[in-house]
């Protein structure tokens, strides 16, 4: 599954699942509400930081994330930390299910692209 979110200052790409011992992976619920343009950290804007943060989230049986870790950094600790903070606060999922159809824990991987306003999509500059 691939979903694109455009938020003016930031562009997010949600990609890929990855259930753990699950018959079905967790499924994101309303991912377009997880990040808004005002979420781009002011300090990162001032420093012209941008890049792609890849994270893996642990999803509990209720569909709420229980953990988040950066698996590939954008090059900015501020952007990476903001990504996990927002995902832990706002993301929700339909939980993974086991072979019996019962809710179980799972994992979800996603990529989040932080892109400065006015940047050309797809062209992220190195610092």
- The whole-number pLDDT of residue 119 equals 75
User: Chain-wide mean pLDDT for the chain?
Assistant: 83
Mean pLDDT across the stretch 90-102?
A: 95
* Residue 91 scores a pLDDT above 90: yes
Which architecture does CATH list for 2-112?
Answer: 2-Layer Sandwich (3.30)
The verdict on pTM exceeding 0.85 is no
Q: pLDDT higher for 71 or 14?
A: 71
* 91 vs 111: CA distance, rounded Å: 14
pLDDT in tens, 17-73: 554 455 899 999 999 999 988 999 999 999 999 999 999 999 999 999 999 999 999
Domains of the chain, residue spans:
2-112
């Amino acid at each position: 599954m691939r979903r694109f979110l455009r938020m003016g200052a930031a562009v997010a790409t949600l990609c890929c699942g990855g259930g753990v011992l699950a018959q079905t992976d967790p499924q994101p619920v309303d991912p377009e509400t997880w990040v808004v343009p005002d979420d781009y950290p002011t300090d990162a804007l001032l420093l012209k930081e941008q890049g792609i943060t890849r994270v893996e989230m642990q999803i509990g049986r209720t569909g709420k994330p229980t953990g988040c870790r950066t698996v590939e950094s954008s090059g900015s600790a501020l952007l990476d930390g903001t990504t996990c903070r927002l995902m832990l606060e706002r993301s929700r999922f339909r939980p993974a299910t086991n072979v019996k159809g019962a809710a179980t824990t799972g994992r979800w991987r996603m990529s989040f692209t932080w892109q400065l306003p006015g940047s050309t999509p797809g062209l992220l500059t190195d610092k």
